[in-house]
């Protein structure tokens, strides 16, 4: 199946972690012919992803920006457009865990930082990229949410609520722009050993809990970054042009909703 991604330009946020969804998506889309703008707050990590994309024969650019900061996002998009002339694809992937624990024990400043990254970041990047997509009457946007955005999760109320907001935002904006040549969808990955589950030393946190979850997954394995990357790459292709505003679970059957 030809996904028709040759010479498309994709901006992928939060693609600097070498074990994350964004990195896997950048490499997968580059293999399909995309040029990649790699965003991350960690510029060194973004440069490593850029090197991998260039090794595949595609153009790539690393841009440091905090997606929760609208000024930085606007500058990032201006820079990307100056360098590449267009942005065909936006993948709103940047994210991290935050404000965890019982809600009455969490801090308001932690709520704010989590909301800024996980939800406001999606809004900032979408708003910044949409005008040139609307002008060209072409664009693909995929937002990375989470299965917890569909189900909720104890001790993860702020994170889960942000991801639920991303899902609803996806549906709302998709309905606004579908007839203008722009597809917007959402991917909800399951539990994966990305940085979300890792402590400051890089080790896996709470391995007993992870094994307990693994046992409940029909596929009996955690979601790999490549699993999410495959779905994102499909959704940004013209093969998926009739798919609009949908939140896709990629979780081995952990939640079938």
User: Could you list the active site residues?
Assistant: 159
CB-CB neighbours of 96 under 10 Å: 16
- Residue 195: which residues within 8 A CB-CB, separation 6 or more? 17, 19, 20, 96
d(CA 58, CA 77): 19
Give the residue ranges of DSSP H helices in the chain: 21-31, 43-55, 70-84, 108-115, 121-136, 148-151, 157-177, 207-216, 225-235
Contact between 126 and 171 under an 8 Å Cβ cutoff? The reply is no
- Which residues, including other chains, have CB under 8 Å from residue 54's CB and lie 6 or more apart? 60
Show the CA angle centred on residue 60, arms to residues 58 and 62, nearest 5°: 160
> In the sheet where 139-144 sits, what is the strand order?
60-64, 35-40, 9-12, 89-92, 139-144, 182-189, 247-250
Task: Measure the CA–CA gap between 233 and 142, rounded to whole angstroms.
Answer: 9
b/e map of 153-175 (b: 16 or more CB within 10 Å)?
A: eeebbbbbbbbbbbbebbeebbe
> Phi, psi (5° rounding) for residue 247?
-95, 110
């Amino acid at each position: 199946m030809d996904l028709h991604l040759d010479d498309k330009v994709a901006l992928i946020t939060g693609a600097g972690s070498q074990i994350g969804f964004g990195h896997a998506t950048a490499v997968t889309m580059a293999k399909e012919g995309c040029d990649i703008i790699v965003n991350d707050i960690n510029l060194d990590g973004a440069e490593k992803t850029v090197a991998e994309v260039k090794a595949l024969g595609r153009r790539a650019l690393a841009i440091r920006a905090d997606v929760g900061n609208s000024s930085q996002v606007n500058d990032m998009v201006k820079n990307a457009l100056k360098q590449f002339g267009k942005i065909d694809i936006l993948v709103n992937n940047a994210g991290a865990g935050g404000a965890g624990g019982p809600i009455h024990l969490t801090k308001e400043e932690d709520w704010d930082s989590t909301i800024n990254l996980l939800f406001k970041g999606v809004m900032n990047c979408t708003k910044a990229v949409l005008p040139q997509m609307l002008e060209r009457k072409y664009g693909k946007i995929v937002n990375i949410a989470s299965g917890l955005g569909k189900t909720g999760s104890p001790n993860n109320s702020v994170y889960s609520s942000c991801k639920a907001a991303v899902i609803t935002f996806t549906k709302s904006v998709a309905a606004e722009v579908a007839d203008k040549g722009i597809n917007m969808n959402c991917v909800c990955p399951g539990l994966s050993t990305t940085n979300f589950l890792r402590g400051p030393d890089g080790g896996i946190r709470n391995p007993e809990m992870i094994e307990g979850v693994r046992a409940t997954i029909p596929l009996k394995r955690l979601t790999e970054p490549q699993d999410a990357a495959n779905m994102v790459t499909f959704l940004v292709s013209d093969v998926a042009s009739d798919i609009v505003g949908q939140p896709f679970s990629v979780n081995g059957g952990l939640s079938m909703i």
